[in-house]
Amino acid sequence: MGEPQNAFAVLTTTVRNLRSITCAMRHERVRLNADGIPERRHVNIAHTDFVREGLCSWAMRSNSLTCAHTMARFVLADALAVLRDRGFISVTTYDELTHELDEIANELHALDWTRNGLEHALANALECTDHDPNTVLRGQLELRRSLEQAHADLTARAETLHEQVLRRLEVAST
């Protein structure tokens, strides 16, 4: 009986260490040089791509529920399954909470893809000499801000869900 209880305690600690981080999806940003021109890298002999800021560190992503490039949401899903299997939440509650978790994940991925497209469109426009960079930037920055706000909203939803699951785990472990 000690082994399952120990595993439950480890799961509770792991869930407690999860975070909802508002990173504003900075990794999608295209890096600009000192002249405000997008930087490019050679993918192969015939193709170049924009240089992006890059992903957050694995240490940060591994515990972030609100990163599109993480496995942390699977930990929360596993915790929900354990709570259901041990009778601490009903199947209906499990379904509701996993549905919310799935919606958050799907919306995060959609935001990530949208942000990627936005940043590439901005970089392409900045490379064109027939566009005023300030005009391009104003429009794109407004869209960027709206995507960042959507990410912040998802972060709040994820944190609420995280707190609900953690509270249930802590009650179940007493």
Residue with tokens 């890298």: 41
Asked if 45 contacts 130 with a C-beta cutoff of 8 angstroms, the reply is: no
Asked if 28 contacts 119 with a C-beta cutoff of 8 angstroms, the reply is: yes
Q: pLDDT tens digits, residue range 25-34? A: 777 788 888 8
Instruction: Report pLDDT for 144.
Output: 83
Tokens of 34: 């000192």
> Which of 100, 98, 65, 105 lies closest to 83 in space, CA to CA?
98
Residue 48 has pLDDT above 90, yes or no: no
* Most confident of the ranges 42-46, 76-80, 109-113: 76-80
Counting residues of the chain whose pLDDT is more than 70, the rounded percentage is 92
**At residue 166, what are phi and psi to the nearest 5 degrees?**
-60, -45
| Amino acid occupying residue 56 | C
Domain boundaries, the chain: 2-172
> Which of 42, 43, 35 lies closest to 133 in space, CA to CA?
35
What pTM value is reported for the model? 0.84
Rg of the chain on CA atoms, in Å: 21
Counting residues of the chain whose pLDDT is more than 90, the rounded percentage is 43
64 or 51, greater pLDDT: 64
How far apart CA 79 and CA 163 sit, in angstroms, is 12
Asked if 41 contacts 48 with a C-beta cutoff of 8 angstroms, the reply is: yes
